[in-house]
């Protein structure tokens, strides 16, 4: 229904505790629609509710990333839990909507299996290697307050923090200019 603003690092909302969805209501379905619209508007592989400032334990993975074709619906994970990871470790580049223009190598298990509920209220399991395995772990991490900056060493942390400081400085100026109230001279 709407494309939402993304909560960006170092916003403390990204570290808040998320809560279990007790019932799949129209409000939850609307939230999932907003997540889908936001994810696709930003050409992302996945998105977690906390990234738009919501604390429900929900994330989406793009249908194509999950092994479908270009028109596949996104997979919806409600109250997901990582059941198992394994098949060795692999280093791969990750990006994140909450860290715009930041791409870093992150070491994770090659494979992951997640159990969740879908929008129909049915329990399902999804497992994947490589990109899907990485996406499942990355989005689940958001629901626990864990961010990709937590998975790198001190030097990379400092680089990311500097990049985000620059990004905020640039975008805060743009937003101020957009939201500025016109002066009387500008109105005339």
| Set 139, 170, 176, 186: catalytic member | 139
Q: Which two tokens stand for residue 73?
A: 């619906």
**DSSP annotation of 141:** H
- Torsion, Cα 67 68 71 74, to 10 degrees, reads -70
Residue 139 is a catalytic residue: yes
d(CA 88, CA 24): 36
- Torsion, Cα 105 108 109 114, to 10 degrees, reads -120
Please give the positions annotated as active site. 139
């Amino acid at each position: 229904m709407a494309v939402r603003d993304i909560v960006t690092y170092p916003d403390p909302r990204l570290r808040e505790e998320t809560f279990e969805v007790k019932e799949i209501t129209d409000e939850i379905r609307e939230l999932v629609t907003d997540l889908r619209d936001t994810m696709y508007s930003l050409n992302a592989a996945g998105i977690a509710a906390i990234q738009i400032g919501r604390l429900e334990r929900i994330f989406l993975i793009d249908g194509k990333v999950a092994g479908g074709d270009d028109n596949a619906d996104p997979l919806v994970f409600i109250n997901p839990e990582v059941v198992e990871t394994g098949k060795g470790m692999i280093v791969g580049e990750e990006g994140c909507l909450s860290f715009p223009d930041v791409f870093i190598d992150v070491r994770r298990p090659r494979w992951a299996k997640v159990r969740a509920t879908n929008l129909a209220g049915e329990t399902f399991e999804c497992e994947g290697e490589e990109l899907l395995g990485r996406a499942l772990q990355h989005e689940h991490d958001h629901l626990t307050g864990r961010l990709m900056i937590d998975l790198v060493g001190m030097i990379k942390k400092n680089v990311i923090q500097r990049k985000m400081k620059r990004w905020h400085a640039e975008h805060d100026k743009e937003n101020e200019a957009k939201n500025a109230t016109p002066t009387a001279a500008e109105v005339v």
